[in-house]
Amino acid sequence: MKTLKVALIVITIPALAGIVCWYRYTGTPQHSLMLLANAVKAKDYETARYFVDDERIADTASKSVVDAALQRGTKDLKASENPFSGFGVAALQMMAPRIREAAKDNVKDAIRQALSGDDTLTGRASAQQWDLRRLSQLRIEKCVVSGNTAEVLIRGVPQPNPAQLTEVHLRMARVPDSRNWRIDEIPEIAEAYIKVMETENPSAEPVTDSIGSTLPSTPAVTVLSPNRVLEETVPSVCGIDFSNSQIVQGDSSVQLANGAYEKRNDVGTESVSLKNVFCLHESTNQTEHAVVATDWTGCGASCHSSGAVQIFALRDNRPVLTQELDFDSNALGSGATFDDKSQTLTISGRSTEESPDCCPKSLDVVTYRWEGQQFVQTSYKRVPVPSS
């Protein structure tokens, strides 16, 4: 009987400890952000908006936008040496309330798009449908709680992006009479809004392709920062036999054999092929990175293929997927090449222009330079798909 009591105590204490830990976790900002992410993924706008104070965020951001606009406008008018610049400055100041209201509405509209992707909520037929796969790499890097407020640092922002953001800070507050937390300020929103406006309304001539068409601000290459640790233990990341290793991309995982994988069923076929493996050596700190290029093809009623360039580093003798560049390879001339001498990666992927799946018109050719830890975009152009 005594032994049974001891056993019950041994079982009960860890269970109670687990319950206490879980209860504490459900009252943290991290848990509220997880609930927010799940609501966005499920396109549950009503639940998602509970965790975001869009009115306060928009109000704070719009003030920063107006301050920046007035500062820039005043500087430009004074620099123009126009004798009527004083009237222009006064006019800008008179327009400030309207500018702020417009900016506030635009920020709230952007938040609604981010939380729902539903154009019936934004009133725009062109409302952006957010690519949740790109956002899946976001991660909480740091969370500091002080009473009923919290400062949260988010990293893993998809690159490139029109706002040129690499990280996002969230200021959160505990919801009154609740254990939940709500985002009430995002300092980067004002900066992002201004940069996006500059992209949409540039003062310089827009970049054009070889036939004179204006190019989108970002190429058709998705840049992710997965920070995904693989299970195997290795002494060198460049010593991995990737042609006979497990390859992951998003939620997919396949085992290569001699650089290839193929699966057939009644629905169609899926195949993966290893294209290239490059090794980057850093002589200054004696580190190395492996650059692995693969091609993924799926065929059913029709076929589609996508390319991936993945960068691996070594951390505690385990390979870590630190960066991934994905592109549509369903076009002649697509692919990825690396120049070891200049440490540059060139990706040619199918452009996002409107064209039938069978008949791509152009390729986005993007050049990236190695910056020691990741590839950074240096140039981008659009060229016609080669005829043969």
pLDDT at position 174? 94
- Please give the order of strands across the beta sheet that includes 149-155: 139-146, 149-155, 167-174, 181-185
pLDDT at position 42? 82
pLDDT at position 113? 78
The model's pTM: 0.51
Q: How far, in Å, CA of 373 to CA of 367, rounded?
A: 16
Report the 3 state secondary structure along the chain: CHHHHHHHHHHHHHHHHHHHHHHHHCCCHHHHHHHHHHHHHCCCHHHHHHCECHHHHHHHHHHHHHHHHHHHHHHHHHHCCCCCHHHHHHHHHHHHHHHHHHHHHHHHHHHHHHHHCCHHHHCCCCCCCCCHHHHCCCEEEEEEEECCEEEEEEECCCECCCCCCCEEEEEEEECCCCCCEEEEECCHHHHHHHHHHHHHCCCCCCCECCCCCECCCCCCEEEECCCEECCCCCCCHHHCCHHHCEEEECCEEEECECCEEEEECCCCEEEEEEEEEEEEEECCCCEEEEEEEEEEEEECCCEEEEEEEEEEEEECCEEEEEEEEEEECCCCCCEEEEECCCCEEEEEEECCCCCCCCCCCEEEEEEEEECCCCEEEEEEEEEECCCC
pLDDT at position 375? 92
Tens-digit pLDDT profile for residues 41-55:
888 888 888 999 988
Q: Tens place of pLDDT for every residue, the chain, 388 residues?
A: 556 555 555 555 555 555 667 778 888 999 998 898 888 888 888 888 899 998 888 888 777 777 766 666 666 555 555 554 555 556 656 666 776 777 777 778 778 877 875 544 444 443 444 444 555 567 888 888 888 999 998 887 776 666 667 788 888 999 999 899 999 988 877 666 666 555 544 443 444 555 445 566 678 898 888 888 888 889 999 999 999 998 888 777 899 999 999 998 877 888 999 999 999 887 656 678 999 999 999 887 778 889 999 999 998 889 999 899 999 998 999 999 998 888 899 999 999 877 777 788 899 999 999 988 889 998 889 999 987 6
* Residue of 148, 175, 322, 309 lying closest to 242 (CA atoms): 309
